[in-house]
Amino acid sequence: MILLIEDDKLLASILIEKCKKEGLEVLHVLDGENGLRAASEKKPDLILLDLLLPGIDGFEVLKRLKENLATKDIPVFILSNLGEEEEKRQVKNMGAEDFLIKAHFDLVQIISKIKERLAKKKQEA
């Protein structure tokens, strides 16, 4: 199961629909606080995380996910319009595995990256 933490409902619905067509289950939450709760309770296989969220922003969500023993090993892909090298470096240093820029939104590429990572995770188990 993929946890999508994204406040853009249109983008989320498009991504969820594509994931479903590919046989991937998605749980969608709109903010960081609910995202942290869902990650702890549901233990998703992968998290897609926006950086600009209402309440707790994505940087803080990522920090808390990686500090929590229950969620620290869940792969996190950042899905954001912030695309500066500094943000990319910052989230990679915080433990994010990939950085996908919404403006270059390519559903096929995103689904492919998700599937690759989920397959890798299965092999690691």
Domains contained in the chain, CATH given: 2-116 (3.40.50.2300)
The pLDDT, as a whole number, for residue 83 is 66
Q: Return the amino acid letter for 13.
A: S
**Assigned token pair, 98:** 């990939």
Where are the extended beta strands (E) located within 15-122? 26-29, 46-49, 76-80, 98-101
> Among residues 83, 114, 111, which one has the least CA distance to residue 99?
83
From residue 55, alpha-carbon distances to 3, 58, 62, 102, 106 in Å are 18, 9, 14, 20, 28
The string of pLDDT tens digits covering residues 18-41 is: 999 999 999 999 999 999 999 999
- What is the value of pTM for the model shown? 0.93
